[in-house]
Amino acid sequence: MKAQRPHDRWFFGSLAALALVTGLVVGAIVGGPALYVGGGLGIGGAASVALALRRRSQRRRAVLASPFPQEWRTLLEKRYDHFDRLPAPLKARFQDDVRIFLAEKRITGVEVEVTEELRVLVAASAVTLSLGWPDYEWDQLTEVLLYPQDFGRDYSFETAELSGQTHAWGTVILSVPTLRESFADPDDGFHVGLHEFAHLLDLEHTRFSGMPSGLRSEAEWLELVEKEMDRLRRGKSALDPYGDESPAEFTAVAVEAFFEMPLLLRRRHQELYEVLADYFGQDPAAWDDERGLWLAR
């Protein structure tokens, strides 16, 4: 995320021009004094758009001007192995993205207090996926709901069927104990935060298809998913068997494995690893090589 995206000025300029033209056209159709009223409304709309752009940019610059909180950095260093493996320039970008995410995204507790720890863990889950895309905004995210425990499909706490859920309207639900557990065990291939935000990447036209937006080759991905799901069914895969539920669940499980156990994924599923590395613009297995972790695997 950036204080101002390169295409923002063009986009909002175009939107402002459209508002102005629309006002003039409506005024011309109605005729008479309405032409001037329509033109005035169009100019007002254009000015509002420009003001919104400037205010957001100013807010982001103010957020990034302040030092990254030391308690947040300590938390990430102690609790998040992926943050530890990042090269220094990406660590700096990660911290900036966390700050902007927390300044702009709504995180709400349901019978649970939303502490700074939980806010940082949520932001880290999302930012991990988007770190390689400097202009990515998580625009499809409307709210993150934190639950005090795993929950049922009816959203009650009488059963513990789900540890997370992503809705087509952009709401992500996360179980707090499972979220903390996900960060506590960094290489088990399970991370509820990564899993649910991976579903949000898959969100297209209010449905989940298992096709993350922005893939270089959709046909290649579909063929690879079919092949990998067949390996799961035959017990020949290093991925969580839950990935065989559907292409959407396979995608989320593969994303978890990519960030949680990249060395194993690269060794046993090289093609899948390479596609995900290209997609996310990150190479966690190579970073683990640099840390000498391949010697212990």
Please state, in angstroms and rounded to a whole number, the distance separating the CA atoms of residues 215 and 279. Answer: 6
Residue appearing with tokens 């593969």: 254
CA 224 from centroid of its chain's CA atoms: 23
- For residue 50, what pLDDT is reported? 52
Determine which of 92-101, 144-153, 180-189, 216-225 has the lowest per-residue pLDDT on average.
Answer: 216-225
- How high does pLDDT run on average in the chain? 86
Global pTM exceeds 0.85? no
pLDDT digits (tens, 9 = 90+) for 89-106: 999 999 999 999 999 999
pLDDT digits (tens, 9 = 90+) for 37-79: 655 555 555 555 455 556 767 777 888 888 999 999 999 999 9
| Strand spans (E) along the chain | 107-109, 143-147, 164-166, 171-175, 203-204, 207-208
State the average pLDDT over residues 258-272. Answer: 97
| Strand spans (E) along 141-222 | 143-147, 164-166, 171-175, 203-204, 207-208
pLDDT digits (tens, 9 = 90+) for 76-86: 999 999 999 99
Number of DSSP helices (H) and strands (E) in the chain, helices first: 13, 6
Nearest-Å Rg of the Cα atoms of the chain is 22
Q: Which two tokens stand for residue 50?
A: 């420009």
Instruction: Tell which residue, 203, 172, 204, 178, has the closest CA to residue 192.
Output: 178
Instruction: Tell which residue, 225, 275, 265, 227, has the closest CA to residue 247.
Output: 225
Q: Given a cut of 80, is residue 294 above it in pLDDT?
A: no
* pLDDT tier at 11, thresholds 50, 70, 90: very low
Please state, in angstroms and rounded to a whole number, the distance separating the CA atoms of residues 107 and 29. Answer: 46
Q: Which two tokens stand for residue 221?
A: 């991905």
Please state, in angstroms and rounded to a whole number, the distance separating the CA atoms of residues 79 and 181. Answer: 10
pLDDT digits (tens, 9 = 90+) for 140-156: 999 999 999 999 999 99
Bridging pattern class, strands 143-147 and 164-166:
unpaired
Residue appearing with tokens 């988007």: 130
Please state, in angstroms and rounded to a whole number, the distance separating the CA atoms of residues 123 and 29. Answer: 49
